[in-house]
Chain A
Amino acid sequence: MKAHPGRLASALLLTLMLASGASAQEGRDPLMRLERTARYSVEVLMDSARLMGLPTRPIESKVLEGLSKNASPRLILAVARNVFRSLRDARAALGPKATLDELDAAASALRVGMTQSELGQLGRSQHGKLLTVPLVVLVDLISRGVPRDTASQTIFQLWQRGAADDDFLGLWRGVERDIVSGADPGAALLNRARQVPSREPPPVSPPRPE
């Protein structure tokens, strides 16, 4: 069979065009699905976050979540701005050493009504432990109807008593079961919190001699 250079070249061209098209679909920016004006605003927002040393992943994730849920570009932009603001406030409250997960969890806590001063109080008594799990539990409790003040004060007291991640998760499971069984959310939390064993707080390092 005689190879025809023209046909060969056509086949090569077609294959490459299809391959580049498919690959471009896979590799392109996921935010490309967002309407152009909103995308521009989100990109500016993310650039600002980057300049301020804030993580951009939570913002991008919220945008993708909105796209997945068929939210309007206007709503997506509003949600992204809210996430940006809460990340900025969380960083201000927790300081530059907070991890990405802590910042993200703290930003969620701010969005359910926790104040920056309460967050800062938690951050100042970290003793080297991560705040992620206590904040996740706190946000869940508020979302399930526990009064905000009750939830934040209880979590703060347990935190100061040296409660570990497992203690907080155990508390959450108990309260969640009680609420499902019909208990008042605030009362369920106070009741379950009494059952959390008090742990020795981490040793406080003595002040250095002058």
Chain B
Amino acid sequence: MSDELNSIDESVRLIVMEARRPVAIDPEARRRLAEALRAEPAPTRSSRVLSWFVEPRPFALPPFTTAALAAGLVGIGVLTGIALNRDGRAPTEQPRAVAASSQLPDSVAPRAIKFVLVAPQAARVSVVGDFNGWDSAATPAKREADGTWTTYVPLRPGRHIYSFVVDGTHFVSDPSAPIAPDDGYGQKNSVVVVAGASS
């Protein structure tokens, strides 16, 4: 075992000696190298700028800053995903071009439809329907001096279901529009058919 260790030490010593031995360079080779370097064109300003971008360079950041930047990049990714509606779920509706017939083309522009409710006692009135996701905060109506509440909603040609919401809690159908039946929620809605789809 001891002989084996000695032979390894000897091998290492020889390797070290060989590595430390100065390398003799041929003077002619040195001259050729210097000439080749002189023949190289001097770097231009644009190539210096380019190399600034492409050459690797070490830099150091504190761990907290690195974490913050990583979180920022994730946040940008999330925002972009949300903006593109690519959240991994299937879309909840087919593309309109498929769902709607050729008689209701996508190019038909929405029309501003006026909604009016006479409710002088109401403190606030809004319109909810299939056009705003039944969100009572989305389309508030404006009170006129005579107690009527009005608002305009841009609607695509076709049939839309809606209701007024009075004081945030009471659903009231439009007395000047056809009724849609109560489907189980206890209140009838109203229907508006925006011209264009059937003409």
Residues on A facing B (Cβ under 8 Å): 5-6, 9-10, 12-13, 16-17, 19-20, 23-24, 27-31, 46-47, 50, 55-58, 60-62, 64-69, 71, 75, 78-79, 82-83, 97-101, 104-105, 108, 111-112, 129-130, 132-133, 136-137, 139-140, 142-144, 165, 172
11 A-B residue pairs with Cβ-Cβ distance under 8 Å, sorted by A, are A20-B79, A24-B78, A55-B93, A62-B183, A65-B130, A82-B183, A101-B159, A101-B193, A108-B180, A130-B197, A172-B178
**Contact yes or no, A12 B68, CB < 8 A:** yes
Give A67 to B195 CA distance when docked, in angstroms.
Answer: 29
Q: Hey, which chain A residues are within 8 Å of B71, CB to CB?
A: 13, 16-17
Q: Are A46's CB and B75's CB within 8 A?
A: no
> Chain B residues with Cβ under 8 A from A97's Cβ?
101
Q: Which residue of B lies closest to A109 (CB)?
A: B181
| Residues of chain B at the chain A interface (Cβ within 8 Å) | 62, 64-65, 67-69, 71-72, 75-76, 78-79, 82-83, 85, 87, 89-90, 92-94, 99-101, 103-104, 128, 130, 133-136, 158-159, 161, 171, 178-181, 183-189, 191, 193, 195, 197-199
The answer to whether B75 and A17 touch across the interface, beta carbons within 8 angstroms, is yes
Q: Which secondary structure dominates chain A's binding surface?
A: helix
Contact A68 B128 (CB under 8 A): yes
A27-B85, A139-B179, A172-B178 known; A61 vs B134 contact (CB < 8 Å): yes
If A6-B62, A16-B71, A19-B79 touch, whether A100 touches B100 (CB-CB below 8 Å) is yes
Q: Report A-chain residues with C-beta under 8 Å of the C-beta of B134.
A: 61, 64-65, 67-68
- Chain B contact residues, majority secondary structure: loop
Residues of A within 8 A of B186 (CB): 69
Number of contacts between A and B (CB, 8 Å)?
155
| A143–B93 alpha-carbon span in the complex (Å) | 29
| Cβ-defined partner of A99 (8 Å) among B104, B135, B180 | B104
Residue of A60, A111, A140 with most chain B CB atoms under a 10 A cut-off: A140
Given known A-B contacts A75-B184, A140-B191, A19 and B82 have beta carbons under 8 A apart: no
What is the bound-complex CA distance between A142 and B180, given in angstroms?
Answer: 10
Known: A47-B90, A79-B184. A68 touches B135 (CB 8 A): yes
- Chain A residues with CB under 8 Å of B199's CB are 165
Across the interface, A132 reaches (CB within 8 A) one of B136, B185, B188, B193, namely B193
- Chain A neighbourhood of B69, CB < 8 A: 9, 12
Whether A130 touches B82, Cβ cut-off 8 Å, given contacts A5-B62, A172-B178, is no
